[in-house]
Amino acid sequence: MFLKRIWEFLNKINTPIARCGEKIAGILLCSMTIIVLLQVLFRYLLNAPLNWTDELSCFLMIYMTYLCMPLIYLQDKNISMSFLLEKINDTRLSHIILVLIHLIALCLFIIWIYFGYLFFLKGNVMANSLPIKMYYIYIAPPILFTITILSVLQKIIYELDQFINFKQLANH
């Protein structure tokens, strides 16, 4: 029951954050599409290419990717090799393996945050074609992976609860 309450608490935090990230990423995707279309228009129809559109599109794509991470993680849409888990689905072992997988992901995200922060500290340079400091781009992974860690913790709590309160399905 205690784990269920922690899961519910994390779900109340993570679901709105993930949905907000999804909506912002959608806006960024639309913006990026418009920017790329502008670039095509200016380059091929007006013969006056815009030199800032490529870089801005890359920056928007970086943010889109990291903004979607919490939602992707919560919905199990991340890349995985599921053949093993499909073989042992609905067993206690599957819940333990999933806890281990989430713990590995947690460790990787912490490492990514650490090195991302070190990279962020080196961001006191200007972007090539835009008047912004690279800090604003380099900060995306550390901040957004920190938010994603909340999703990882929610998944760990869920799998631990499923392991502790395991009920074998009738078809096994």
CA-wise closest residue to 18 among 59, 74, 62 = 74
In the chain, how many H helices and how many E strands?
6, 0
pLDDT of residue 123: 80
Apex 89 CA angle, 98 and 99, nearest 5: 10
Residue with tokens 């979607």: 68
Apex 139 CA angle, 154 and 119, nearest 5: 110
- How far apart are alpha carbons 168 and 137 in whole angstroms? 48
Q: Domain map of the chain by residue range?
A: 2-164
pLDDT of residue 170: 45
- pLDDT per position as a tens digit, 91-140: 888 899 999 999 999 999 999 999 999 999 988 899 999 999 999 999 99
Specify the pTM.
Answer: 0.86
Distance from the first to the final alpha carbon of the chain: 26
